[in-house]
Chains A and B, each alone.
Chain A
Amino acid sequence: MIVVQLLINGIIAGSIYALVAVGFSLIYATNRFIHFAHGGFVTVSAYLIYLFFTLVGLNFYISALLTILIAGFLGWLVYKLVYAPLKKRKVSNAVLLIASVGLLILLENLMLLIFGADVKSVGYIQIRKGIEVFWGIITLLQIVIVILTVILLLILWFFMKKSRLGKIMRAVADNAELANIIGIDANKFCYLSFIIGTALAGVAGILVALEQNIEPVMGTGLIIKGFTGAIIGGVVSVPGSILGSYLLGLVENFGIWFLPSGYKDAIAFVLLFVFLLFKPTGILGLRGKDREQKL
């Protein structure tokens, strides 16, 4: 039945968006600003796995590990070099947002400069027909992506809601000064969120590179979709952003069953705009109290 395949397609698309959304949302949940450049780090990670595995020839799992570690390091670096100084000057979140867009463009053009514009492929997985599941087809890699995302969903839900570390990070997000008074080093947790969040971008970069090949501008499209998913689900809630991404993936794929296929992006944009206007906290987001204090 075609519906089953469309469902599977939607879940696959949703998982890819979720992979991008999860790191982004973790960073947002702790820092309370929009870090668009996250998409750029996904792109950089994709090129890193290409560099280590395809160009240099290291073992795939070692390349993946290296990529994730470097991604985490880059997250730390970008916070140290750009965001921490800006935050120290107590700039508004709008400034941080604009700075992050600048970073996104910077990263993508660096990749363009270094690697060139043509499509690169990692070449780790052979292309072959997928596995038949019920009335649909899905490949092994896609199954891995979906399962990984679901696992991440569960881990992060548990982490943010129940664990001590997660509670501290949320406290820091709510009120950094108060947290400092209690003796929590807010800054350290901001760094931590960037390291983990960007490492997650590393994971996303690797999987997307395997599934969709690599080109310099891939990050922009991905972060827009990931961000939309996060907004729909509730950007403050990390598990929410994953769920929102699935919703987006499903709406897109079922949507273009009826509409001409060129409208796929338009669906995402309209959803984004509508949610921003009427329910910016998203479906799972907390009501009102998590919104910006800074204007």
Chain B
Amino acid sequence: MIEVYLIHLLIIIGIYIILATSLNLALGYTGLLNLGHIAFFGIGAYVSTLLSINTSLPFLLIFIMAGLFTSIFGYLLMVATNKLKGDYLALATLGFNFVIYSLFLNWTSLTRGPLGIPDIPKPSIFGLIIQSNLSYLIFVAIVCCLSIGFLYFLLKSPYGILLQAIRDNELTCKVLGKNTFKMKWQAMATSAFFAGIAGVLYAHYITFIDPSSFSLYEIILILTIVLVGGLATLKGSILATVIILIIPEILRFFALPSSILGPAHQIIYALILILILMYRPKGLFGKVDLG
């Protein structure tokens, strides 16, 4: 019985690892202050859901399409915010998240708004339906490993080094003749792609999505994870995801009444975030500071 629960936890951890590492790509390695990452998560989830329910396209195709569609938004966001710096950039990306959230909420003919979309079908790959949680875990683990692998090699390559150079000193890179804007939007689009993929995994696991899964609280959660793990470090993000997601499980251990449990959760996340920023801004394994 415990293994079943562990499987559920691992699936959620796997999905969030993809989310965290993709955010780190944009935030930590390329220096793009994107606070709207969760919007990508949501777009991937909704696109995949709508395609799965309304069309009979094969799942793998939908999977890739959702990722690609989301990456277009990554590109668009970069185009829109290229001229902004510092906290204005952060704010604009936050605003982007709110606008997308509003879209999910109000475009009811498409998304059913706050009622959400239930009964999302389980993925079917080459005729095999991923029905049980164990098989879903295997699926998530595969996608997770592939994603981390891709990011790892990308970031180790000269391309990745260049991204970090852009983060540290964009002007110099420009002077040296690099098309920094192009590399930035590529980084953002890639980050968005993986966030979208994570959204697909999420939607087909929970089998129900609604706009509330893609709001301010999720932004805080993923930011906390990335900052705790540290910027510009993949293994930091992976480790931090595990730690941060296990905390609520440990809280349950203390058998607190549920009216205390809910807010206690949030308070702990908020405190961790603030304390990390104050006392250990590099997080666990981070190479750089924020901003």
Decide: A91 near B95, CB < 8 A? Known: A269-B102, A270-B102. Answer: no
CB of A129 within 8 A of chain B? no
Q: In the complex, how many residue pairs between chain A and chain B have their CB atoms under 8 Å apart? A: 138
Q: How many residues of A contact B (CB 8 A)?
A: 45
Which of these, A86, A94, A96, A273, contacts B33 with CB under 8 Å?
A94
A294, B95: Cβ atoms closer than 8 Å: no
Q: Which residues of B contact A270 (CB under 8 A)?
A: 99, 102
What's the least CB distance linking A290 to chain B, in Å? 11
B95, A272: Cβ atoms closer than 8 Å: yes
Rounded to whole angstroms, the CA-CA distance of A291 and B91 in the bound complex is 14
- Which residue on A lies nearest to B216, using beta carbons? A220
Rounded to whole angstroms, the CA-CA distance of A175 and B262 in the bound complex is 43
What's the least CB distance linking A130 to chain B, in Å? 31
Q: Which residues of A contact B270 (CB under 8 A)?
A: 102-103, 105-106, 109
B87, A94: Cβ atoms closer than 8 Å: yes
Instruction: Give residues of chain A (102-132) contacting chain B, Cβ–Cβ below 8 Å.
Output: 102-103, 105-106, 109-110, 112-113, 116-117
Pairs A-B, 3 closest by C-beta atoms:
A92-B291, A266-B102, A106-B270
Give B residues with C-beta under 8 Å from A.
33, 35, 80-81, 84-92, 95-96, 98-99, 101-103, 105-106, 113, 216-217, 220, 223, 227, 259-260, 262-264, 266-267, 269-271, 273-274, 277-278, 281, 289-291
Given contacts A95-B281, A96-B87, A102-B220, 16 further A-B contacts (CB under 8 A): A33-B87, A91-B289, A92-B289, A94-B290, A99-B273, A105-B217, A106-B271, A109-B266, A262-B106, A270-B99, A272-B98, A280-B84, A280-B88, A291-B88, A292-B85, A294-B86
List 17 A-B residue pairs with CB atoms under 8 Å apart, sorted by A's residue number.
Answer: A34-B87, A82-B274, A82-B278, A94-B87, A94-B89, A98-B227, A109-B267, A113-B264, A224-B98, A269-B98, A269-B99, A273-B99, A280-B92, A292-B85, A295-B85, A295-B86, A295-B291
